[in-house]
Structure 1
Amino acid sequence: MNFPLEPLAISTGIVALAEIGDKTQLLAFMLAARFRRPWPIIAGIFIATIANHAFAGAVGTWITTLLGPDVLRWVLGLSFIAMAVWMMIPDKLDEDEITAPKFGVLATTIVAFFLAEMGDKTQIATVALAAQYDAFAAVVTGTTLGMMIANVPAVLLGNGIAQRIPVKLVHGIAASIFGALGVAALVGVGMR
């Protein structure tokens, strides 16, 4: 099996950066504070992320079968540039979105995290990265790893760590990377 490292590394890095201050990271903080059971929360985040990002990666791969190379280049380029702009808009999470665990902490985390990730920056990024690199396994592994890099410390260390992270700077770096990917796609760099 061919497992390219470039899509893995870029997917991991960009999603780890994009997740800082994202609504799903805020959800991870809230789940940790409310339930105080880190391991089921971490497992739930992992399961929900794999399911969500596998779906997103499949959509990204499917899109490549629908669009010709020139149209795909423009769609991806403009999508990455739009992601760069979106990165600069802070996320918010309504505390009412988390309900009491009727099915346990693990199931509650899986459902809440999966639903919060639908249409989220990192899910859209996974679609675009899968389409850009045509490396489903590497992209899904990378985006899942990026989510875990950002969210495991959020669950284990709590909101105290969030106060020390320069979120605007991190989002600026992620926006710059998305912008660079957009420009590269528009000029045809890295396209298959």
Structure 2
Amino acid sequence: MQDFIQAFALIFVAEMGDKTQIMAMAFATRYKISHILLGVGIGAFLNHGLAIMLGSLLNRYIPLEALQLVAGVLFVAFGLLSLSISEEDEETTKINKYGAIATVAMSFFLGELGDKTQLTALTLSTQAQLPIMTLMGTVSGMVVVSSVGIFIGAKLGDRIPEHMIRLGSFVIFMLFGLNKIFSSSYVQSMGSTFTWILILMIALLTVYRFIIFRRQIVEISVSALRQKAKDLKAYKERIQNGIDQLCQGCDVCRDMGCVVGYMRGILAERMKPGELNSDYLEMLHNRDFDPDKAKVISVMIDEYFEKYPDERETNWQLVTVQKVLEKIIEKNTIHLV
């Protein structure tokens, strides 16, 4: 147990705020949490397992410089792929879930090759009584640290537009990738001409991805506006039908003299926001309308507002209709804000 606690504590402290946690935060904007944690666990297990079981052989026969260069190239690729926004349905998500796990696992496995975390695991294994407990401790530490990063990423994802999060992921992966590539002795040995050609290639790929990314943002924005207009029309028709069912067949609706006629006038845009006031509403005829039917209509409006929260502040028609419905349901004074 001592081997587990020591390994867990050292890895947790070493990776808190390090690139591993930031990578987890970036992945949290793209994949499900369960897939990320599973990928982190697999990647860390393979990475630390190699360090503990075959660390000395790895250093002797496989140059870490080569592995670091491969990791850098993959990070740049992940960064470029981050510049993409698409509307995937649930079936597409199911198809891609194993790809997400493999991507995260490979990223963490290669990203930690030759890093201080792997070297720490290797050092701990030389003095551990039970190497398997050391392995469990290091993997657990990586998963817990990543969980903190995922939590932060998920919270940010609720408040920051998706395209900004994608840009953040792009920057993070590109920084790590470019650092690994251009600090590699293999690249440095190729000379300045090769380095500038490599920089130019990466720059051209980045510009190309940004062009596609911008086009996707515009297309999705237009698509979202069209869908919003379509949904609003559909909800208004449903609400109008519900209001029609509230009507008891009196004549005063023709002159908007009762609450039902008033709601009809609101939806038909025969009134402007500035013409609304509580005194006028209190003068309206409010017969014994069915409160259950009014609740059904109010729920429809809540559904629309849940789908488009910003509409609660801007769509005065639906807000006003819902306030009138509350008057029918509660039979009390209504106040417009």
Return the TM-score normalized by structure 1: 0.57
Once the 2 structures are TM-superposed, how far is the Cα of residue 22 of structure 1 from its aligned partner?
1.7
Provide the secondary structure at the position in 1 that maps to 2:126: helix
Q: What is aligned with 2:7?
A: 11
Q: What amino acid is aligned across from residue 21 of structure 2 in structure 1?
A: Q
Tell me the residue number matched to 2:47: 52
Aligned-partner Cα distance in 2 for 1:95–1:22 = 16
Per the alignment, residue 188 of structure 1 pairs with none
In the alignment, what sits opposite 1:84?
none
What residue number does 2:126 align with? 131
Q: Which has the larger radius of gyration?
A: 2
- Percent identical among aligned pairs is 28
Deviation at 1:11, TM superposition (A): 0.4
Q: 2:27 aligns with which of 25, 31, 39?
A: 31
Q: Once the 2 structures are TM-superposed, how far is the Cα of residue 36 of structure 1 from its aligned partner?
A: 4.0
Contact 2:21 2:148 in 1 (8 A): no
Q: Contact (CA 8 Å) 2:8, 2:138: kept in 1 or not? A: yes
Instruction: Note the residue ranges of structure 1 that are not aligned, 5 or more in a row.
Output: 64-93, 162-192
Aligned ranges for residues 102-117 of structure 1 at < 5 Å? Answer: 104-117=99-112
Shift of 1:105: 1.2
Conservation of the 8 A alpha-carbon contact between 2:41 and 2:139: yes
Q: Which consecutive residues of structure 2, in runs of 5 or more, have no partner in the other structure?
A: 58-73, 83-95, 157-337
How far apart are the structure 1 equivalents of 2:39 and 2:127?
28
CA contact (8 A) 2:45 2:135 kept: yes
Report the alpha carbon displacement of residue 13 of structure 1 after superposing the two structures with TM: 0.6
Deviations 1:164-185 (A, max 9, x none): xxxxxxxxxxxxxxxxxxxxxx
Q: Could you tell me whether the CA contact under 8 Å between 2:52 and 2:122 is conserved in 1?
A: yes
| Structure 2 equivalent of residue 21 of structure 1 | 17
Give the alignment's Cα RMSD to 1 decimal. Answer: 2.7
Deviations 1:51-70 (A, max 9, x none): 1111111136x69xxxxxxx
Aligned to 1:76: none
- Over 3 Å counting, the alpha-carbon distance change for 1:30 and 1:97 in structure 2 is farther
Cα offset, 1:142, TM superposition: 0.6
Change beyond 3 A, Cα 1:58–1:39: same
Match for residue 78 of structure 2 among 89, 98, 103: 98
- The Cα shift of 1:149 comes to 1.4
Q: How many residues align?
A: 125
Query: AA paired with 1:23?
Result: K
Q: Which residue type is aligned with residue 39 of structure 2?
A: G
* 26 and 15 in structure 1: CA distance in 2 versus 1, 3 angstrom threshold: same
